[in-house]
Structure 1
Amino acid sequence: MRKANASHVMLFFIMLVVGFLISYSFQWTKERKDLNVSPEQWEKEYETRKLLINQEETNRKLQEELFQKQKKVTEIEEQLKKEKELYYNLVEDVEKLRMFVGEVGVVGEGIEVTLEDSSYVPEGENVNNYIVHESHIFKVVNELLISGATAVAINGQRIFHHSYIICNGPVVTVDGNQFPAPFVISAIGDAEVLTQALNIAGGVLDQLAYENIVVKVEKKKEIKMGPYLSNELDD
């Protein structure tokens, strides 16, 4: 009886273990099936990952290339900016030179100096000592140029370094153009500086007054001068 009971217990224990093993095996197999994929799926996933890695590498190289091109563009822009500034300065210099040589008109502040013959000539005096001569005009023009005038004109006739002024009785000839008195000498430049230069004690204005010439100086906010013209050049 005891042997039969022991056999029953052993059999029950064995069945219990077998049942556990079968249950565990079934559960493990189920989980394994969920985790496992077919070789085709693995191959597809491998190829996809490989493509992704290659694409990331390509993107990295493209980003580096883009950075280099952006850097080059920045350098070119800086160079163009410098060239633009250089060309702009050259254009300004050319315009200034054209202005100085009288090829173009010019506008700016300045002064007007009017020279007139004396209205009173004492009896018995030589009338030539009381009228404006080219020497008087030269004194004013030279003083204005020395004082920084950028352009000078006589009665609207712009003068240049090779201009000539000749006195013919009551008129003055400037580069072939005749002008009667009064003679208005216009100068573009710093009006204050030009005025002070003329008014220096013992300077041009004092000399003209001593030589019986009537002088009037006016500051102008704007003086317009055309390009240099000469009758001789036109001919």
Structure 2
Amino acid sequence: MKVRGKHAIYSLILLVTGFMIAFSYQYTKEERKQPTNDQWKREDQLRSSILSIQRENRNLQRELEAAQKKVSEMEEEIADKEKRSFNFVEEIKKLRKVVGQVAVEGQGISVSLEDSSYIPDTENPNDYIVHEEHIRMVIHELYVTGAEAVAINGQRISNTTHIDCVGPVVSVDGVKHPAPFVITAIGDPEVFSNSLNLTGNITDQLVNDGVQVRIQKETSIEIPPFIAKEG
């Protein structure tokens, strides 16, 4: 009986000890799960920092969008100015061509006017030679059909050019040119040719006046700048 009593006491002691150990372990485990005040403070600080960073990011994002919009507007403004500047430069180039300030090169046409090779004895010789009105007719027709530049025997003409008949020669802004008179123009050769050869148009009138006419389409013509007459 004494031995059994001791066993019971030992068993009870071991049971109580095991319970205390298990309780202590569970309590310690639960304690570890519970954050301390310092941990709460650190977590709160982290949350505050995160919220602050998020607000700052939103502000930066708005500033970035505003900056991108401004850059886009500036780019559009610059592109518009460049376009206007380009158009302005192109317009100046065209005007310089029109007034003859620069040399011009391109495809076009050449029209050669020459005195008649046959003059009847009973006719007036002046009726079979090229006069200034014949040259003016051709030049006018070329300008009407889109000529960018026109020259007579290589001399550039302008809207102020004076063409006068002086005996057997023609004076262009004071420069005398003998026949044949080769009028060159830069532009669409097909348009020029169709217009000049139209029935009843310029070529027919010239031929009826006893003028020899030769028309040649040109792939490349160079016309020098206009030189104003001195004095």
TM-score (normalised: structure 2): 0.86
- Distance of 1:50 and 1:15 partners within structure 2: 52
Secondary structure of residue in 2 paired with 1:123 = coil
Deviation of the 1:13 alpha carbon:
11
Aligned counterpart, 1:5 = none
Match of 1:201 in 2: 199
1:92, 1:182 → 2: CA distance? 36
Select the residue among 80, 93, 96 that pairs with 2:94. Answer: 96
Shift of residue 154 of structure 1? 0.7
Secondary structure of the structure 1 residue equivalent to 2:53 = helix
Q: CA deviation at 1:102?
A: 1.4
What is the aligned counterpart of 2:72 among 68, 71, 74? 74
Q: CA deviation at 1:91?
A: 1.7
1:42 and 2:49 aligned: no
**Residue 117 of structure 1 aligns with which residue?**
115
Structure-2 separation of matches of 1:182 and 1:147: 23
8 A contact 1:108–1:222 mirrored in 2: yes
Q: What does 1:1-235 correspond to in 2, within 5 Å?
A: 22-231=20-229, 234-235=230-231
CA offsets 1:69-111 (integer angstroms, 9 cap, x no match): 1122222222322222222222212211221121222122111
Q: CA separation in 1, counterparts of 2:17 and 2:175?
A: 134
Larger displacement relative to structure 2 (37-46 or 102-111): 37-46
Q: Which amino acid aligns with 1:104?
A: V
Can you give the 5+ residue segments of structure 2 that lack an aligned partner in the other structure? 1-5
How many residues align? The count is: 228
Counterpart position of 2:3: none
Partner of 1:4: none
Q: Helix, strand or coil: the match of 1:108?
A: strand
Determine what percentage of the aligned residue pairs are the same residue.
42
Q: Secondary structure at the match of 2:74?
A: helix
The range that moved more, 186-195 or 65-74, is: 65-74
**Separation in 2, partners of 1:114, 1:209:** 12
Query: SS of 1:201's equivalent?
Result: coil
Q: CA deviation at 1:33?
A: 3.8
Match of 1:3 in 2: none
SS in 1 for 2:158: coil
Q: CA–CA distance in 1 between the matches of 2:209 and 2:28? A: 129
Task: Give the TM-score normalised by the residue count of structure 1.
Answer: 0.85
Conserved in 2, the CA contact under 8 Å of 1:176 and 1:230?
no
Distance in 1 of aligned mates of 2:104 and 2:93 = 10
Is the Cα contact below 8 Å between 1:110 and 1:191 reproduced in 2? yes
Distance 1:57 1:13 in 2: 65
Distance in 1 between the 2:69 and 2:127 partners? 77
Letter in 2 for 1:213: V
Unaligned runs of 5+ in 1: 1-7
